Amino acid sequence: MSKLSLPMLGLGGLGAAGLGGYSLLKGKNNPAQKEETFGFRYSKALLRKESNLWDSKFNLLKEGTEPSHPTLKNAKTKAASGGNDQEAKELHKKGCQEIYDSNLKNTSYLNDFKSYCAKNLKDEMGSSKKWISEGENDTTKWNAKLKSLLTHDEAKNHVLDISLASLKNTLTGQDSTWGDEKRKSLKEWCDASQKEIFEGKEDSRFVQADLYCIGQ
**Span 162-187, pLDDT tens digits:** 999 999 999 999 999 999 999 999 99
pLDDT at 151 over 60: yes
Residue 205 to residue 16: CA distance in whole angstroms: 28
CA 184 to mean position of chain CA atoms: 22
- Of the pLDDT bands very low, low, confident and very high (cuts 50, 70, 90), residue 199 is very high
- Section 114-128 average pLDDT: 96
- Section 117-133 average pLDDT: 95
pLDDT over 90 percentage in the chain: 80
Question: What is the predicted pLDDT for the residue at 125?
Answer: 95
Average pLDDT of the residues of the chain? 88
Question: What is the predicted pLDDT for the residue at 82?
Answer: 83
Question: What is the predicted pLDDT for the residue at 34?
Answer: 67
pLDDT at 109 over 80: yes
Residue 112 to residue 77: CA distance in whole angstroms: 15
Terminal alpha carbon distance of the chain: 46
Contact at 8 Å (CB) between 144 and 180? no
Residue 6 to residue 36: CA distance in whole angstroms: 21
Question: What is the predicted pLDDT for the residue at 83?
Answer: 76
Least confident of 27-41, 50-64, 127-141, 189-203: 27-41
Residue 164 CB coordination number (10 Å): 20
Contact at 8 Å (CB) between 54 and 118? no
- Of the pLDDT bands very low, low, confident and very high (cuts 50, 70, 90), residue 33 is low
pLDDT at 192 over 70: yes
